[in-house]
Amino acid sequence: MELSTSILLTIALAPLAGCLLAGFLGRQIGRAGAHSATILGLVISCALSFYVLYQIAFAGAPAYNHDLYTWFEIGRLHASVGFMVDRLTAMMMVVVTFVSLLVHVYTIGYMADDPGYQRFFSYISLFTFSMLMLVMANNFLQLFFGWEAVGLVSYLLIGFWFKRPTAIFANLKAFLVNRVGDFGFLLGIAAVLYFLGTLDYATAFAAAPTLAGKTLAITQGTHWDAATVICILLFIGAMGKSAQVPLHVWLPDSMEGPTPISALIHAATMVTAGIFMVARMSPIFELSQGALSFVMVIGATGALFTGLIGIVQNDIKRVVAYSTLSQLGYMTVALGVSAYAGAVFHLMTHAFFKALLFLGAGSVIIAMHHEQDMRYMGGLRKYMPVTWITMWIGSLALVAVPFTSGFYSKDAIIEAVGESHRWGSGYAYFCVMAGAFVTALYTFRQMYLTFHGKERFTVVEHHGHGHHDHDDHGHHKPGELAHAPHESPWVVTLPLVLLAIPSLLVGFFTVGSMLFGGWFGTAIHVDEANNVLGEMGAHFEGAVGMALHGFWSVPFGLVLLAFAIQTYIYLFNPALAGRIKSALKPLWTVLDRKYWVDDVYFALFARGGVKLGRLFWKAGDAAVVDGVLVNGSARLVDRVAAGVRRLQSGYLYHYAFAMIVGLILLLGGYWLIGQ
Partner 1 sequence: MFNHLLSLLIWLPIVGAVPVLLAGSSRPNAARWLALLFMVLTFAASLFLLPRYDAAAGGLQLVESHVWIASLGVHYGLAVDGISVALILLTTFVGILVVVGAWEVIQNRPHQYMAAMLVLEGLMIGVFCATDALLFYVFFEAMLIPMFILIGVWGGPRRVYATLKFFIYTFFGSVFMLIGLLYLYHKAGTFDLHALAALPLSLKEQSWLFFAFLIAFAIKVPMVPVHTWLPDAHVEAPTGGSVVLAAVMLKVGAYGFLRFTLPIVPDAAAHYVWLIVVLSLVAVVYIGYVALVQEDMKKLVAYSSVAHMGFVTLGIFVGYLLVRDAGNVDAAKLGMQGAMVQMISHGFVSGAMFSCIGVMYDRLHTRLIKDYGGVINVMPWFGFFYVLFAMANCGLPGTSGFVGEFMVILASFSANPWIALFAAFTLIIGAAYTLWMVKRVLWGEVGNAHVAEMKDINGRETFVLAAFAALVLLIGIWPEPLVHLMDSSVAQLVQQLGTHKI
Please report whether residue 617 would count as binding partner 1 according to CB under 8 A.
yes
Strand, coil or helix: 422: coil
Question: How many of the chain's residues bind partner 1 (CB under 8 A)?
Answer: 55
Please report whether residue 602 would count as binding partner 1 according to CB under 8 A.
no
For the bound state, the minimum distance from the C-beta of residue 618 to partner 1, rounded and expressed in Å, comes to 9
Q: At 37, phi and psi to the nearest 5?
A: -65, -45
| Candidate segments 479-487, 533-541, 573-581, 619-627, binder of partner 1 by CB under 8 A | 619-627
Distance CA 268, CA 346 (A): 11
For the bound state, the minimum distance from the C-beta of residue 258 to partner 1, rounded and expressed in Å, comes to 16
Paired strand residues for 84: 65
Distance CA 526, CA 534 (A): 10
Please, where are the H alpha helices in 137-164? 140-158
Q: Which is nearer to partner 1, 50 or 71 (CB)?
A: 71
Q: Which is nearer to partner 1, 616 or 670 (CB)?
A: 616
Binding to partner 1 in span 170-209, by CB under 8 A: 172, 175-176, 179-180, 182-183, 186-187, 189-191, 193-194
Q: Which is nearer to partner 1, 87 or 173 (CB)?
A: 173
Other CB atoms within 10 A of residue 241 CB: 28
Please report whether residue 72 would count as binding partner 1 according to CB under 8 A.
yes
Select the residue interacting with partner 1 from 9, 32, 59, 77 (CB under 8 A).
77
What burial class does residue 127 get, using C-beta atoms within 10 Å of its C-beta: 0-12 exposed, 13-18 middle, 19+ buried? buried
For the bound state, the minimum distance from the C-beta of residue 216 to partner 1, rounded and expressed in Å, comes to 6
Instruction: Assign residue 478 a region (left: φ > 0; alpha: ψ between -120 and 50; beta: otherwise).
Output: beta
For the bound state, the minimum distance from the C-beta of residue 125 to partner 1, rounded and expressed in Å, comes to 16
For the bound state, the minimum distance from the C-beta of residue 221 to partner 1, rounded and expressed in Å, comes to 15
Distance CA 71, CA 80 (A): 4
Select the residue interacting with partner 1 from 6, 60, 165, 552 (CB under 8 A).
165
Binding to partner 1 in span 388-417, by CB under 8 A: none
For the bound state, the minimum distance from the C-beta of residue 157 to partner 1, rounded and expressed in Å, comes to 13
Select the residue interacting with partner 1 from 59, 564, 603, 610 (CB under 8 A).
610
Q: Which is nearer to partner 1, 576 or 612 (CB)?
A: 612
Cα 104 to its chain centre, rounded Å, is 20
For the bound state, the minimum distance from the C-beta of residue 186 to partner 1, rounded and expressed in Å, comes to 5
Q: Which amino acid does the sequence have at 286? A: E
Distance CA 183, CA 70 (A): 25
| Candidate segments 67-75, 521-529, 542-550, 657-665, binder of partner 1 by CB under 8 A | 67-75
Select the residue interacting with partner 1 from 1, 74, 575, 672 (CB under 8 A).
74
Other CB atoms within 10 A of residue 480 CB: 15
Binding mask 123-162 for partner 1 (x = CB under 8 A): ------------------x--xx-xxx--x--xx--x--x
From residue 143, alpha-carbon distances to 45, 73, 129, 135, 188 in Å are 20, 18, 13, 7, 12
Contacts of residue 213, defined as CB under 8 A and 6 or more positions apart, other chains included, come to none
Q: Which is nearer to partner 1, 198 or 313 (CB)?
A: 198
Distance CA 26, CA 34 (A): 6
For the bound state, the minimum distance from the C-beta of residue 328 to partner 1, rounded and expressed in Å, comes to 22
Strand, coil or helix: 82: strand
DSSP 8-state class, residue 487: P
Q: Label residues 176-202 b or e (16+ Cβ within 10 Å = b).
A: bbbebbbebbbbbbebbbebbebbbbe
Strand, coil or helix: 85: strand
Q: Which is nearer to partner 1, 37 or 174 (CB)?
A: 174
Q: Which is nearer to partner 1, 233 or 308 (CB)?
A: 233
Instruction: Give a three-class secondary structure readout of 558-594.
Output: HHHHHHHHHHHHHHHCCHHHHHHHHHCHHHHHHHHCH
- 478 preceded by a cis bond (ω within 30 of 0): no
For the bound state, the minimum distance from the C-beta of residue 273 to partner 1, rounded and expressed in Å, comes to 14
Select the residue interacting with partner 1 from 478, 613, 662, 668 (CB under 8 A).
613
Please report whether residue 474 would count as binding partner 1 according to CB under 8 A.
no
For the bound state, the minimum distance from the C-beta of residue 630 to partner 1, rounded and expressed in Å, comes to 6
For the bound state, the minimum distance from the C-beta of residue 116 to partner 1, rounded and expressed in Å, comes to 10
Select the residue interacting with partner 1 from 614, 635, 639, 654 (CB under 8 A).
614
Q: Which is nearer to partner 1, 192 or 562 (CB)?
A: 192
Select the residue interacting with partner 1 from 216, 505, 565, 577 (CB under 8 A).
216
Closest CA to 589 of 238, 248, 312, 203: 312
Q: Which is nearer to partner 1, 419 or 598 (CB)?
A: 598
Select the residue interacting with partner 1 from 1, 6, 60, 69 (CB under 8 A).
69
Please report whether residue 75 would count as binding partner 1 according to CB under 8 A.
yes
Please report whether residue 535 would count as binding partner 1 according to CB under 8 A.
no
Binding to partner 1 in span 631-670, by CB under 8 A: 634
Please, where are the H alpha helices in 286-424? 289-311, 316-336, 340-367, 385-398, 405-419
Distance CA 489, CA 113 (A): 14
For the bound state, the minimum distance from the C-beta of residue 133 to partner 1, rounded and expressed in Å, comes to 9
Q: Which amino acid does the sequence have at 423? A: W
For the bound state, the minimum distance from the C-beta of residue 169 to partner 1, rounded and expressed in Å, comes to 8
For the bound state, the minimum distance from the C-beta of residue 469 to partner 1, rounded and expressed in Å, comes to 20
Please, where are the H alpha helices in 616-651? 631-647
For the bound state, the minimum distance from the C-beta of residue 620 to partner 1, rounded and expressed in Å, comes to 7
Please, where are the H alpha helices in 593-630? 597-601, 608-615
Select the residue interacting with partner 1 from 73, 113, 469, 638 (CB under 8 A).
73
Binding to partner 1 in span 103-122, by CB under 8 A: none
What burial class does residue 465 get, using C-beta atoms within 10 Å of its C-beta: 0-12 exposed, 13-18 middle, 19+ buried? exposed
Select the residue interacting with partner 1 from 426, 557, 578, 609 (CB under 8 A).
609
Select the residue interacting with partner 1 from 521, 620, 632, 669 (CB under 8 A).
620
Distance CA 392, CA 381 (A): 11
| Candidate segments 259-267, 434-442, 604-612, 666-674, binder of partner 1 by CB under 8 A | 604-612
Please report whether residue 560 would count as binding partner 1 according to CB under 8 A.
no
Compute the half-sphere exposure of residue 81: CA atoms within 13 Å on the CB side of its CA.
12
The residues binding partner 1 (CB under 8 A) are 69-77, 141, 144-145, 147-149, 152, 155-156, 159, 162-163, 165, 168-169, 172, 175-176, 179-180, 182-183, 186-187, 189-191, 193-194, 216, 218, 609-610, 612-614, 616-617, 620-621, 624-626, 629-630, 634
